[in-house]
């Protein structure tokens, strides 16, 4: 089993719709979690950190489910500019390295 | 947020030559930096962890003699691809984290290396 797994997609989303996707992680002792956004041929950029209580930033909502070992990202009122690959990133308990999921590709269409 | 600067953004080199990529943390000190490689339509793969003042830690399958890493100061790490071959063509990205536990990583802009 991979340490961090994501549905690669693509998720084809009509503009204005809501899309949600999950990321599962294998190490139950993982410390911290992040969602990054990566545009084609660009570096990943932090979208949001994921806190145990869940957090929201505008149209984006992230949640952590420790019991089932997954984090989720929900995008409301999708914009064309939301088209990107969303990377789930997990900080395992030992060391300073981050583990990346394979990414979920989202395509928002008019 | 913190800024990590990577240079060059794009390089084309001939087979057999070496290429150096620099990664700088501009407004914070990074005792640890990370080097990733990303092939088209794939996720980032960690190549090595660069430790200031000591040897880098390489991931399994990454040749340390081919990918030379130097972390001479708290703000600069370099990756040198030696004797480059066409199969080394890829997108190389560095990242750095601050010293506080569980903080996010900041990424350089990436270097697209093409070996011809």
Closest CA to B29 of B10, B56, B52, B46: B52
Confidence of residue B18 (pLDDT cuts 50, 70, 90): very high
Phi, psi of B107 (to 5 degrees): -110, 145
Confidence of residue B42 (pLDDT cuts 50, 70, 90): confident
pLDDT confidence of residue A8: 92
d(CA A35, CA B67): 29
Indicate yes or no: CB of A42 within 8 angstroms of CB of B109: yes
Mean pLDDT for chain A?
A: 92
Indicate yes or no: CB of A31 within 8 angstroms of CB of B101: yes
Average confidence (pLDDT) over A35-58? 90
- Burial of residue B37 (CB within 10 Å: 0-12, 13-18, 19+) is buried
Average confidence (pLDDT) over B6-30? 93
Q: Tell me the C-alpha to C-alpha distance, in Å, between residue A45 and each of A34, A72, B64, B85.
A: 10, 17, 28, 29
Residue B52 has pLDDT above 90, yes or no: no
Nearest 5°: the CA angle B32, B35, B40 is 155
d(CA B95, CA B105): 6
Indicate yes or no: CB of A96 within 8 angstroms of CB of B107: no
Q: Which residue of B has its CA nearest to A50?
A: B104
A85 vs chain B: nearest CA distance in angstroms? 10
DSSP symbol at B99 = S
pLDDT tens for each residue of B71-104: 888 889 999 999 999 999 999 999 987 766 667 7
Confidence of residue B31 (pLDDT cuts 50, 70, 90): confident
């Amino acid at each position: 089993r991979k340490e961090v797994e994501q549905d690669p997609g693509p998720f084809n989303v009509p503009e204005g719709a809501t899309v949600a996707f999950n990321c599962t992680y294998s190490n139950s002792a993982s410390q911290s979690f992040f969602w990054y956004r990566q545009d084609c041929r660009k570096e990943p950029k932090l979208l949001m950190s994921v806190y145990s209580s869940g957090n929201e930033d505008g149209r984006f909502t992230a949640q952590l489910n420790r019991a089932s070992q997954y984090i989720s990202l929900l995008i409301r009122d999708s914009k064309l500019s939301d088209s990107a690959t969303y990377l789930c990133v997990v900080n395992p308990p030992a060391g300073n390295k981050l583990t990346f999921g394979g990414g979920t590709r989202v395509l928002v269409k008019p | 947020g913190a800024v990590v600067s990577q240079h060059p953004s794009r390089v084309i080199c001939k087979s057999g030559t070496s290429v150096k990529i620099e990664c700088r943390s501009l407004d914070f000190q990074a005792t640890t930096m990370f080097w990733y490689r990303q092939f088209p339509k794939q996720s980032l793969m960690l190549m090595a962890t660069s430790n200031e003042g000591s040897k880098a830690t390489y991931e399994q399958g990454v040749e340390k003699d081919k990918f030379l890493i130097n972390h001479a100061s708290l703000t600069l790490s370099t990756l040198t691809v030696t004797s480059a071959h066409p199969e080394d063509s890829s997108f190389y990205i560095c990242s750095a984290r601050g010293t506080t536990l569980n903080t996010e990583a900041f990424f350089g802009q990436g270097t697209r290396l093409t070996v011809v």
